[in-house]
């Protein structure tokens, strides 16, 4: 505001004050935590209190129309200090006043203003009041009042002392008034805004290790108090908290935290975090991430704006190595010297490999993770074990027998991961049992057995027979396994015309859902007798 504007405003106030007799002002609610309601943010802005920096009387201005008998005082910075006016001599017609702007936050308003003060010595012809006529009561001691809004007569708190020129005897020395602990309940209905939510945490695909996230937040009104990040609905890091102009005070008007400025917190805040996705509350798989910005409030919940929850996919299943520098990893089966192998049922396989940097230099002492996924499963890779590289960067691992599966050998340090996938295949081996070892022609046998799991339920089993010393097998029946992988069948030997020994086996073909290569049982023998 320019000096010319101040002068014009001052003249307007002085002219208006001469006609204030009978002016009515509005009343309000008290400033207390119980007065805060859900919705807009509420907080206290206070002036003229020694608990605040320099007493905090921003913009307080004293004006007098004439004479020197009205002496202002401003010792708000001293304990118990106040804004005051004292009449020190006889005057015939004069007035002076303090006007103390009590601003509202941008986009908001003042719900109530609480003031402590006292006056005394008012005689005939003396006009003396703070905020509204009739208060404080003459010589009644210090008291507190709560007023609606924060405007007073001129949109500011007015502390007035004057002598009515129509009173012929004039006014004598002695009248005085003071007010302090001026606390406004500020109402801020405007929520913060956010933009520029960026960082590696939101990258597409799988992420791991430490990832970054930042956001720009802004607010009008009380300003920003904090910006917080949550993962899966839980705090993921300390909030980025703003440095706000606040103070602690205890006086008849207000007890607790107060704002030193109408907008005590910064209107802009850039928050950033580096988050370890291997730690709580992250978990492997899908996670939701959300950022929330809150403005300032001390008597209510703050206005808070949250970004839409975003889904990220985390994979820290490969155990992290404390040794850095790995960039290239290779792995192979020792017996096949390739990244695939097919073995008989229940056979293990040895794996070897090496870890180097991009220049081919060995990385020793590094952790290599081993993960596997069974063929056809939906569970993804599952951690299995770890091994270490030796001084030459080499590592070995014995892969246990089992079903067909992909095996990942990986190296991870923080967010960087490199891996090599190899494939292990094994033949199935069903079991087979015949109810008899001998049967007469035309007789029947019961055939039972089991296909190894996992995934053995509802699978086709082919039953075959062969004569001794023959290499040809003939299919004579089929069966289907139950949920546990068991199967059963019956067969009648009504086409055998001469005593014959047979070999019978169960074959589990390669089929969808069964993570094994085609395999067969150990043959069972039966003798079919013809004649006596």
User: Tokens standing for 213?
Assistant: 């996230």
Alpha carbon distance 269, 216 (integer Å): 6
DSSP designation for 35: G
The pLDDT value given to residue 476:
96
The pLDDT value given to residue 155:
56
**Quick check: 268 and 198 in contact, CB under 8 A?**
no
Cβ neighbours of residue 37 closer than 8 Å, sequence gap 6 or more: 300
Alpha carbon distance 89, 234 (integer Å): 68
For residue 24, what is the enclosing H or E element? none
Bridge partners (DSSP) listed for residue 310: 289
Query: CA dihedral defined by 50, 54, 57, 60, rounded to 10 degrees?
Result: 130
Cβ neighbours of residue 336 closer than 8 Å, sequence gap 6 or more: none
**Quick check: 307 and 290 in contact, CB under 8 A?**
yes
**Quick check: 129 and 119 in contact, CB under 8 A?**
yes
User: Tokens standing for 197?
Assistant: 């939510």
The pLDDT value given to residue 91:
81
**Quick check: 369 and 320 in contact, CB under 8 A?**
no
Q: What is the CA radius of gyration of the chain?
A: 44
Q: How many CB atoms lie within 10 A of CB 493?
A: 19
The pLDDT value given to residue 65:
86
The phi, psi pair for 277, rounded to 5°, reads: -70, -5
Bridging pattern class, strands 285-295 and 310-314: antiparallel
- Listed as ranges, residues in the chain with pLDDT below 50 are 1-38, 153-154
CB-based burial, 189-213: b 16+ in 10 Å, e otherwise: ebbbebeebebebeeeeebbbbbeb
3-state secondary structure 127-184: EEEECECCCCCECCCCEEEEEECCCCCCCEEEEEEEECCCCCCCECCCCEEEEEEEEE
Which domains, ranges and CATH numbers included, belong to the chain? 3-188 (no CATH), 193-242+263-314 (2.60.40.2060), 328-426 (2.60.40.1930), 431-529 (2.60.40.1930)
User: Tokens standing for 440?
Assistant: 């007469």
- Report how far apart the first and last C-alpha atoms of the chain are (Å, whole number): 128
Alpha carbon distance 157, 172 (integer Å): 26
User: Tokens standing for 302?
Assistant: 């703050």
What phi-psi label fits residue 101: left (phi over 0), alpha (psi between -120 and 50 degrees) or beta? Answer: beta
Residue 26, Cβ density class (10 Å: 0-12 exposed, 13-18 middle, ≥19 buried): exposed
The pLDDT value given to residue 22:
29
User: Tokens standing for 253?
Assistant: 């008007």
**Quick check: 345 and 427 in contact, CB under 8 A?**
yes
**Quick check: 172 and 90 in contact, CB under 8 A?**
yes
């Amino acid at each position: 505001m320019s000096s010319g504007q101040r002068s014009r405003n001052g003249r307007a106030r002085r002219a208006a004050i001469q006609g204030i007799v009978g002016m009515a002002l509005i009343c309000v609610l008290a400033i207390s935590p119980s007065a805060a309601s859900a919705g807009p943010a509420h907080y206290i802005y206070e002036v003229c209190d020694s608990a605040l920096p320099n007493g905090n009387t921003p913009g307080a201005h004293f004006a007098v129309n004439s004479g020197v008998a009205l002496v202002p005082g401003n010792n708000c910075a001293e304990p118990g200090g106040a804004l005051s006016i004292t009449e020190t001599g006889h005057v015939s017609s004069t007035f002076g006043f303090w006007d103390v702007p009590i601003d509202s936050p941008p986009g908001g308003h003042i719900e109530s203003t609480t003031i402590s003060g006292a006056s005394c010595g008012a005689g005939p012809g003396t006009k003396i009041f703070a905020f509204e006529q009739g208060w404080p009561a003459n010589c009644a001691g210090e008291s507190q009042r709560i007023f609606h809004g924060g405007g007073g007569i001129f949109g500011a708190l007015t502390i007035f002392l004057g002598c009515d020129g129509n009173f012929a005897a004039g006014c004598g020395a002695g009248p005085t008034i003071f007010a302090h602990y001026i606390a406004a309940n500020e109402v801020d209905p405007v929520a913060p805004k956010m933009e520029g939510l960026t960082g590696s945490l939101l990258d597409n695909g799988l992420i791991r290790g430490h990832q970054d996230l930042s956001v720009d937040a802004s607010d009008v009104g009380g300003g920003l108090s904090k910006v917080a990040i949550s993962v899966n609905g839980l705090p993921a890091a300390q909030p980025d908290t703003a440095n706000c102009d606040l103070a602690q005070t205890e006086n008849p008007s207000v007890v607790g935290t107060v704002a030193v400025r109408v907008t005590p917190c910064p209107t802009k805040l850039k928050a950033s975090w580096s988050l370890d996705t291997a730690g709580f509350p992250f978990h492997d798989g899908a996670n939701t991430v959300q950022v929330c910005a809150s403005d300032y409030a001390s008597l209510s919940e703050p206005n808070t704006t949250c970004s839409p929850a975003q889904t990220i996919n985390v994979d820290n299943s490969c155990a992290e190595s404390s040794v850095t520098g790995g960039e290239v990893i290779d792995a192979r089966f020792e017996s096949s010297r390739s990244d695939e192998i097919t073995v008989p049922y229940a056979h293990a396989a040895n794996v070897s490999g090496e870890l180097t940097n991009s220049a081919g230099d060995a990385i020793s002492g590094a952790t290599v993770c081993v993960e596997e996924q069974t063929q056809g499963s939906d569970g993804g890779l599952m951690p299995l074990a770890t091994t270490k590289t030796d001084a030459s960067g080499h590592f070995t691992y014995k892969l246990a027998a089992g079903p067909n599966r992909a095996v990942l050998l990986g190296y991870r340090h923080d967010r960087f991961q490199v891996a090599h996938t190899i494939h292990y295949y094994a033949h199935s081996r069903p079991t087979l049992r015949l109810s008899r070892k001998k049967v007469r022609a035309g007789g029947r046998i019961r055939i039972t057995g089991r296909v190894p799991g996992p995934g053995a339920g509802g699978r086709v089993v082919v039953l075959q027979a062969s004569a001794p010393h023959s290499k040809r097998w003939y299919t004579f029946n089929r069966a289907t396994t139950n949920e546990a992988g068991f199967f059963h069948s019956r067969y009648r030997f009504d086409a055998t015309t001469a005593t014959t020994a047979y070999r019978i086996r169960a074959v589990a073909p390669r089929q969808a859902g069964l993570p094994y290569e085609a395999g067969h049982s150990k043959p069972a023998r039966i003798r079919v007798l013809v004649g006596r």
